[in-house]
Amino acid sequence: MAGLSLATNRCLRVANGRRRLATLWLAIVLLTGGSGEVSASDSVLYYDWPFPFLIMRPSLSLFISGEIEQDIRKTPGSRQKVDANKRVLKLKLDTRGYVYHPNLMVFGLKLQPEFRWQRRDQPGMSAGSSSDFLGYSINTSWLREKPYTLSLHSSNSRSDFSSTLSPDQVVESRNSGAIIMLKSTAQPTSLSYNNSTTNSFGVYTTRDRTERWRLGSKGKTENSRTRFNIDMVEYDRTVAATSSVSEKFSAALHNSFNFGERNSLASSASFQDFAVAGLDRRSTSLSSRLKLQHRKNLGSNYSASVRSGQFGGRPERSASLGAGVHHLLYENLTSSLSLNGAKSEADSGVLNNYGGLLSFAYSRRIPWGSLGLTLGSGQRIRDDQRTALIQNAEDQVHVFAGISTSITLEDANVDIDSILMTDDVGLVVYILGVDYEVEVLGSSTIITRNSFGGIGDDQAVSVSYSFEANPPAKTNTSHNRFRATLRIGTKLQLYYSQNRVDERFIEGTPHEFPLDSESKQAGARLTLGWSTTEFDVTETISSRNSQRRMTARQTMNFQPKPAVQLNVSGQFVRAEFVDTGEVLDNIGLASTLGWNFRRRGSLNATVHLRRNRGLHQDQTESGLTLNYKWRFGAWLSQLRLRLRDTSNAIVDDDVSRWSLYFETTRRFSG
């Protein structure tokens, strides 16, 4: 039976391969010849049977690549060496045309069959494999000149992605969908459907699938703009053996109305229903904002919003009101006053917030630059009568700025198991141990992203979690802030800021970690021709999270010749937590050389060093990439050498990799 099953599978693979080759051969026949009446020119072919259609003469591209690679992994007591080689052959046919008439259907067609051979040798095992992949892309547009247009698209592709700071990946993507457009002058509307699946093969095998329905409509008059959208999205992500499923339904109506010269009223109504990682969330909201310009230098604004919903099966309601006024004096001094209040109710109790802020902003040009000063003072009454021992923080937005790998959550005593981190849209669920790690320092919770995970540089994330709540209390919190910015010419910028928060208890039980804090920040930015230097120091003394942070960045761009460019950059970030003495260091260095040899080709070289060091992380990565491209006649070729070393001192693990890659491409025009 085992032999019969093996033979059957082999026959199926052969049959599938022949079927794909037959499909490709049929496409070539259709694109280059056929029966019936045919008229041809230098650039197009026109067929009159079985139905008339015109097709551009196809262009053909040939792609050949080869790569050899070696990995050496060292762990305590062991050394493993892996040799691999890979060869790829691709063909690409590209054409476009129309059926019967351009106003009936216009199409674009790409066929890209791929053949891949791989071999991997390691101690005790050698294995080779071959595979074929039919890449394609077809786009059609029906009835383009009618009041209604239908667009259909489908594609299947496979790509190799190579990056300096992350491992190589092979990505297979399949996408299909349709769009119906009703091109009414008063209210154009579109209905779209899209289904996409992406499989990534790298350090982790990842599968992402998205199914989306979207209805969109917009209308406008001389003074009004209206938009209406309905979205239904189902998204699931599988990384290694961990899966997460997200579903979202949202409907939103937005309207903006302009009256007078600079007056406007913006209103919106929305409904959202989320189901993310087994957690249900539903909300309905209404909001409105009115802006009035009374005089050239005097304006005011008013806002109101109400929201009702459920989070994890628990009902929640909230409402807020706000008003503000701003005044400009002598084009230098701007004064503003804002008042706001909010009330939220849940099954755990009521939370009331109300207060105001008075601020002044002064700016003035001086003989050798400009000066800017900002001063603000505010008061806020917070009456927290919630009695639950555990409360929820929803959708806190954080950014992993630059190469920074850590963020600190806002609340103390966080339940680590309750942390849910997604992208800023709320659909992609990041996975603990794959995308990020969590550590607790005193009462603070630190989230560190992994180098090989799915969170990139400068990426915004949304974090929800549960934390140990403070006892009911009524407090008065004062805010005072000051900032000064001095610009000397266009070369130098200096800044200093100070913020102070004092919390006073009016009634109830004092909190274990009050909001009392004082932070100071000083920095400078110097730009001298090819060099930019930035330095920033921040110190925050707080009952919740006292820390000092220092950031230094240096960037240098040289261009000694028009064809030569050199970039050198470095960044150092040190965060020191005062309460525990823990220090987190992030170091990044990179240098890139670009050299164009006129018509002969170009050379790019990149060197990088990256280190993340903390209590639970001590990882160093360094590497070199050389990339040379050249053209010989109709052939465009590329040669790339990569060296990379990654070590983790915590687990005493070291991985070294080198690879040599070659590719060449030729395009044959139709």
Among residues 94, 210, 112, 106, which one has the least CA distance to residue 153?
A: 106
Instruction: Specify the amino acid at residue 441.
Output: L
| pTM (predicted TM-score) | 0.76
DSSP summary character for residue 432: B
Confidence of residue 2 (pLDDT cuts 50, 70, 90): very low
Q: How confident is the model at residue 467, as a pLDDT?
A: 83
Q: What is the mean pLDDT of residues 461-475?
A: 86
Residue with tokens 């496409």: 27
pLDDT tier at 49 (50, 70, 90 boundaries)? low
pLDDT more than 70, % of the chain: 90
Tell which wins on pLDDT, 525 or 123. Answer: 525
Per-residue confidence (pLDDT) for residue 20, from 0 to 100: 52
Write the CA distances from 180 to 106, 141, 155, 188, 191, integer angstroms: 15, 10, 19, 11, 5
Distance CA 21, CA 31 (A): 15
Helix (H, G, I), strand (E, B) or coil at 7: helix
Coil, helix or strand at residue 507: strand
Judge whether residue 308 has pLDDT over 70. yes
Q: What's the CA gap between 2 and 7, in Å, rounded?
A: 9
- Strand-pairing partners, residue 371, are 364, 486
Spell out the residues 6+ positions from residue 289 whose beta carbon is closer than 8 angstroms to its own: 265, 266, 267, 301, 302, 303
Name the pLDDT band for 215 (thresholds 50, 70, 90): very high
Query: Would you list the DSSP string of 512-523?
Result: SS-S-EEEEEEE
As beta bridge partners, residue 552 has 535, 572
| Structure confidence at residue 327 (pLDDT) | 95
DSSP string, 479-497: EEEEEEEEEETTTEEEEEE
Query: What SS3 class is residue 416?
Result: helix
Element (H, E) at 19: helix 2-32
Contact 571, 553 (CB under 8 A): yes
SS3 (DSSP) at 89:
strand
Distance CA 294, CA 284 (A): 33
The pLDDT confidence band at residue 163, using thresholds 50, 70 and 90, is low
18 Cβ contact partners less than 8 Å away, ≥ 6 residues apart: none
Mind listing the pLDDT tens digit for each residue in 571-581? 998 988 887 77
Are residues 191 and 183 in contact, defined by beta-carbon separation less than 8 angstroms? no
Smallest Cα–Cα separation from 205: which of 230, 239, 237? 239
**Closest listed residue to residue 408, CA positions, set 368, 446, 352, 443:** 446
